[in-house]
Structures are given as structure tokens and as C-alpha cells.
Amino acid sequence: MRKISSTVASIALLFSTTAFAADFNVASNVGNVPFEFEDASGKVVGFEVDLIDLVAKHLGKTVDYTQMPFNSLFAAVQSGRANIAIGSITITKKRLESVSFSQPYYDADQCVTAATAGGIKNLDGLKGKDVAVITGSTGEIWATANSQKVGFSEVRRYDGNNDPMLDIATGRISAYIHDCPQDKYYIKDKPQYTIIDTISTSEQFGLMFTKNSPLLKDVNDAITELKKTGEIDKLHQKWFGAAADPKSSTVTVQVIPSL
């Protein structure tokens, strides 16, 4: 497991060669299938990448992407070195204290993934066992808050999605608490993994901005138009293989989140 040591200063250094090179300087959590990841050619693709590109086209803007671990996205936008971040980022009241979000465009819960051969049937079966989470994620928040109640032996923190999945497969970790959409997509052709439980957290993902960003209104208005024309639902069909629930935030126009 790699330890995250990012600070606002280090993020500023990371962006020093690309800051303000485009209208949208997007910090992205690449490796987060199917929202943003590298395809076989090395190109960054995914649901949120397509969404950003659609918004940019709608507004006549240019885009630059910079890759980093999930937990570094927050320092990137707070420092102003990125003006947008993507990474299936859940909108929360706590986060709204220091950043801004667009209206949500994806609804999610937390899933608990384990090895199929491990014999663990549900969340209760993790008493006395260790679990993996992504540092800074809502999965980490839930696991930390409920560790004593469930009886986890340890909550282990990772930078991204690949390492915990590998550690499940090799028996180094018992289970992984993470966003359901990514895990369902990741394991769809990997029978060695099983989702053993779902934690109803009713989360919603949005684009994250520097607090009170001047970009927010125009980008949010573009998302509204893309919902009304069905373009975001088309992205859902492309990446998830089915139309979104008509009542979901992928389809329905929502307000900009606020405290």
C-alpha cells in the first residue's frame, strides 16, 4: 500500500507546468473505472471524461487532464491549481465547507466486495477481519464510523482501486468497501470477486470546483441542458450498458448543492 503524502504545496508543484494551459484544468482520479481510466492505447476515457468533454464542447472551452490519487483531488481544487476535479466524488455537507459542486449526475451506494472463494457471505461475516478503503472516500468515512459496531480488525487505506482488488485476490485483505458502480463494473468479467453486501448510503456524485468558482454556473447550466437533451443518459448507456433510472440524478435536473 502506497502512503499518500500530498499537500497543497505538492499539488501546486504537480500542476506547475500545466496550470491555466486550458479553460478547464481537470484533476482526475484515473484508474477509477468506468468513470475515468486509461484504455489500451493510454488515452484517458470514461463516463466523467466524456461528461467533461461534452460540457467543454457545449461551452466552447478547452480541457487539460492531470492524474492523481483520489485524496489529492481536494488539495488540487482548494489550492486553485485545478479548477475542476472528477473521481466519482460524493457531494457531502462537510466537503461543501471548502469546495463547490455542480448538480449531481450519478447516484450510488457503497458495496462490500470480497473473494468468491473466501466464503464470506455478508457484512456480518467481516467481524474480526480487515477491510480496505480508499483514503478520503465516503467508504473510508463509513468504515471508520462503523468499525467498532461491525467489529473490523483493521481498516486499511489505499490510494486507488487496483491495489485493494489485487489484495483481495491474493488473500492479503478480506474485503473492500467502495462505490458500487465502479466495483460492479470492475468485477463483471472477474468471477474471483463477489459483492457480498450493499450499504445504503444514498450518495450522489458531482463535479468538484474551487469554492465559489466563477465556472460553476456555466458548467452547471450546461449539465442541465445535457440532461434535458438526453446526452448524459446516452453516456450512461455507453458506459453502464443500460439507460439510467428516469428518477435518478443522471436524468433529472437538480439544484446546485449548498450548505
Q: What is the pTM of this model?
A: 0.90
Nearest CA among 39, 70, 36, 60 for reference residue 50: 36
Burial of 68 (0-12, 13-18, 19+ CB in 10 A): buried
Q: How far apart are CA 197 and CA 214, in angstroms?
A: 41
Those residues whose C-beta lies under 8 Å from the C-beta of residue 190, and which sit 6 or more positions away, are none
Instruction: Show the CA angle centred on residue 16, arms to residues 15 and 17, nearest 5°.
Output: 95
Question: Using an 8 Å Cβ cutoff, are 81 and 19 in contact?
Answer: yes
The pLDDT tens digits of the residues spanning 163-189 come to 999 999 999 999 999 999 999 999 999
The pLDDT tens digits of the residues spanning 60-111 come to 999 999 999 999 999 999 999 999 999 999 999 999 999 999 999 999 999 9
Q: What φ, ψ does residue 93 adopt, rounded to 5°? A: -60, -40
Q: How far apart are CA 24 and CA 233, in angstroms?
A: 23
Domains and CATH numbers, the chain: 8-105+206-240 (3.40.190.10), 107-203 (3.40.190.10)
The pLDDT tens digits of the residues spanning 18-48 come to 445 899 999 999 999 999 999 999 999 999 9
Question: Using an 8 Å Cβ cutoff, are 111 and 178 in contact?
Answer: yes
Q: How far apart are CA 245 and CA 231, in angstroms?
A: 14
